[in-house]
Structure 1
Amino acid sequence: MASERITLTVPGPEGDREVGLSSPNRMLWPEVGITKHELAEYMIAVSVPFLTANGDRPVSLERYPDSVAGESFFSKNPPKGAPAYVESVTVTYNSGRRHPQLVLTETAAVLWAVQMNTVVFHPWASLAGDTDNPVELRIDLDPQPGTDFADAVVAAHGLREVLREAGLEPWIKTSGNRGLHVFCPIEPTHEFLDVRHAVIAAARELERRMPDLVTTNWWKEERGERIFVDFNQANRDRTMAGAYSPRALATATVSTPVTWDELDEVDPASFTVRSIPERLSVTGDPWAGLLDRRGRIDVLLEWWQRDQDAGLGELPFPPEFPKMPGEPPRVQPSRARKPDA
Structure 2
Amino acid sequence: MASQAQVLTVTGPDGDRDVRVTSPDRVIYEPTDRTPAITKLEVCQYVATMGEAFMRSIGERPTAMERWPSGWREGMRLAVGPQDRDADGFYQKRLPKGAPDFIETARITFPSGRPADELCPTEPAALVWAAQMGTLTFHPWPVRRPDVDHPDELRLDLDPQPGTDFADAQRVAAVARELLEELGMRGYVKTSGNRGIHIYVRIEPRYTFEDVRHAAIGFGRELERRDDGVTVAWWKEERGSRIFVDFNQNNRDRTIASAWSLRAKPGAPVSTPLTWEQLAEESDPRDLNILTVPDRMADGDPWAGMDDVAHALEPLLDLWESLPGGELNFPPDYPKMPGEPPRVQPSKKVAAHWDADGNRIED
Q: Is the shorter-chain TM-score for this pair beyond 0.5, marking a shared fold?
A: yes
TM-score range, shorter chain: over 0.9
Residue 118 (structure 1) aligns with: 135
Q: For 2:2 and 2:46, how far apart are their aligned partners in 1?
A: 26
Residue 66 (structure 1) aligns with: 70
- Does the CA contact (< 8 Å) of 1:167 and 1:296 recur in 2? no
Structure-to-structure mapping, 1:163-178, within 5 angstroms: 163-178=180-195
Shift of 1:154: 0.7
Q: Which moved more, 1:76-85 or 1:142-151?
A: 76-85
Asked if 1:231 corresponds to 2:247, the answer is: yes
Structure-to-structure mapping, 1:189-208, within 5 angstroms: 189-208=206-225
Residue 41 (structure 1) aligns with: 45
Shift of 1:167: 2.6
Unaligned runs of 5+ in 1: none
C-alpha distance after superposition, 1:80-133 (max 9, x if no partner): 221122110111211122221110111110111011110111111111111111
Shift of 1:169: 0.8
Q: Which amino acid in 2 is paired with 1:10?
A: V
C-alpha distance after superposition, 1:140-199 (max 9, x if no partner): 001111111111011011111222223311110000000100101111010111000011
Shift of 1:3: 6.1
Structure-to-structure mapping, 1:77-96, within 5 angstroms: 77-96=94-113
Q: For 2:247 and 2:2, how far apart are their aligned partners in 1?
A: 48
Residue 24 (structure 1) aligns with: 24
Per the normalisation by structure 2, the TM-score is 0.89
Asked if 1:297 corresponds to 2:310, the answer is: no
Q: Secondary structure at the match of 1:119?
A: strand
Asked if 1:12 corresponds to 2:12, the answer is: yes
Residue 182 (structure 1) aligns with: 199
Residue 249 (structure 1) aligns with: 265
Q: For 1:167 and 1:330, how far apart are their aligned partners in 2?
A: 36
Residue 356 (structure 2) aligns with: none
C-alpha distance after superposition, 1:5-57 (max 9, x if no partner): 11111223332211111111111001330000001111111111111011110
Q: Which amino acid in 1 is paired with 2:344?
A: V
Picking from 311, 318, 323, the partner of 2:336 is: 323
Structure-to-structure mapping, 1:234-313, within 5 angstroms: 234-266=250-282, 267-281=284-298, 283-307=299-323, 310=324, 312-313=325-326
Q: For 2:141 and 2:313, how far apart are their aligned partners in 1?
A: 18
Q: Which amino acid in 2 is paired with 1:289?
A: G
Residue 143 (structure 1) aligns with: 160
- Does the CA contact (< 8 Å) of 2:157 and 2:196 recur in 1? yes
Q: For 2:203 and 2:101, how far apart are their aligned partners in 1?
A: 31
Q: Which amino acid in 2 is paired with 1:54?
A: I
Q: Secondary structure at the match of 1:291?
A: helix
- Does the CA contact (< 8 Å) of 1:156 and 1:180 recur in 2? yes
Q: For 2:313 and 2:14, how far apart are their aligned partners in 1?
A: 39
Asked if 1:99 corresponds to 2:139, the answer is: no
- Does the CA contact (< 8 Å) of 1:30 and 1:67 recur in 2? no
Per the normalisation by structure 1, the TM-score is 0.95
Q: For 2:156 and 2:13, how far apart are their aligned partners in 1?
A: 33
C-alpha distance after superposition, 1:238-268 (max 9, x if no partner): 1110000000001100000111112221131
Q: Secondary structure at the match of 2:257?
A: coil
C-alpha distance after superposition, 1:49-77 (max 9, x if no partner): 11101111000000001121241011111
Q: CA RMSD in A?
A: 1.4
Asked if 1:133 corresponds to 2:147, the answer is: no
Residue 209 (structure 1) aligns with: 226
Q: For 2:129 and 2:332, how far apart are their aligned partners in 1?
A: 32
- Does the CA contact (< 8 Å) of 2:93 and 2:116 recur in 1? no
Q: For 1:289 and 1:84, how far apart are their aligned partners in 2?
A: 32
C-alpha distance after superposition, 1:252-297 (max 9, x if no partner): 000001111122211311100011111112x211111211111110
Residue 219 (structure 1) aligns with: 235
Q: Secondary structure at the match of 1:262?
A: helix
Unaligned runs of 5+ in 2: 77-87, 354-363
Asked if 1:334 corresponds to 2:341, the answer is: no
Q: For 1:2 and 1:146, how far apart are their aligned partners in 2?
A: 45
Over 3 Å off, 4+ runs:
none
- Does the CA contact (< 8 Å) of 1:232 and 1:238 recur in 2? yes
Q: How many residues align?
A: 335
Asked if 1:53 corresponds to 2:57, the answer is: yes
Q: Secondary structure at the match of 1:169?
A: coil
- Does the CA contact (< 8 Å) of 1:201 and 1:303 recur in 2? yes
Q: Secondary structure at the match of 2:276?
A: coil
